[in-house]
Chain A
Amino acid sequence: DTAVSQTPKYLVTQMGNDKSIKCEQNLGHDTMYWYKQDSKKFLKIMFSYNNKELIINETVPNRFSPKSPDKAHLNLHINSLELGDSAVYFCASSQGGLGVEQYFGPGTRLTVT
């Protein structure tokens, strides 16, 4: 069983479109995250949810909106896609608290043309 899954794995779309990436974890964790990894492999946290409540909201354009329908899911919706949004987006989960391991999904490679 995949612990943290993301769909789709690849996403190619045109500028101005709206797209969503879905994330699900079956680990029973209470905290989920979205990260953006750029072409230089730099990882930047975007959002974090704990029990469906937003706890980290870094400086991210408001075109990005996370949605957590339940503890096991954290989806990322992106409006009006721009070329600079091209990146690999990783979802992760952890069992809250301090000093706990994060489990990462396989990533979604988004290419905006």
Chain B
Amino acid sequence: AQSVTQPDIHITVSEGASLELRCNYSYGATPYLFWYVQSPGQGLQLLLKYFSGDTLVQGIKGFEAEFKRSQSSFNLRKPSVHWSDAAEYFCVANTGNQFYFGTGTSLTVIP
């Protein structure tokens, strides 16, 4: 069955430090891949998406993600985290009509 795994339930980083959130998918073919962010008390907002082509995709708010077919991964990165990045992050795979959500990674940013 298709699935998306986010191994890190919770991550804490210092403001200004770099960030990498991990995501692995399980699917026969390459699905369409997304990263969404959910700020406290808010709905989900799209950060970036990967369909095909360049495996390094740029998103909003200074985020980027790299698709690695050999590792079935789509990790999210940011070189310098801001306090406002504290939120819940979801990796999502899309095949056909189905959307498969990871369990989310909660990011805490300390001053």
Name A residues whose Cβ lies closer than 8 Å to a Cβ of B: 4, 31, 33, 40-45, 48, 50, 55-56, 90, 92, 98-102, 104-107
Q: Which residues of A contact B46 (CB under 8 A)?
A: 101-102
Query: A90–B51 contact, CB under 8 A?
Result: no
- Given the interface pairs A41-B106, A45-B99, the reply to whether A99 lies near B42 with Cβ below 8 Å is no
A40 to B105, CA, bound (A): 11
Interface residues on B, range: 20 to 34
Query: B49–A107 contact, CB under 8 A?
Result: no
Question: Per-residue 0/1 for B69-111: is the Cβ within 8 Å of any A Cβ (1 yes, 0 no)?
Answer: 0000000000000000000101000111111010110100000
Residues of B contacting A: mostly: strand
A56 to B88, CA, bound (A): 25
- Smallest Cβ distance from A58 to chain B, in angstroms? 10
Which of B38, B44, B94, B98 lies at the interface centre, i.e. has the most chain A CB atoms within 10 A of its CB?
A: B44
Q: Which residues of B contact A31 (CB under 8 A)?
A: 97
Query: B44–A104 contact, CB under 8 A?
Result: yes
Chain B: which residue is nearest A9 at the CB level?
Answer: B41
- Given the interface pairs A4-B43, A42-B103, A101-B49, the reply to whether A48 lies near B32 with Cβ below 8 Å is no
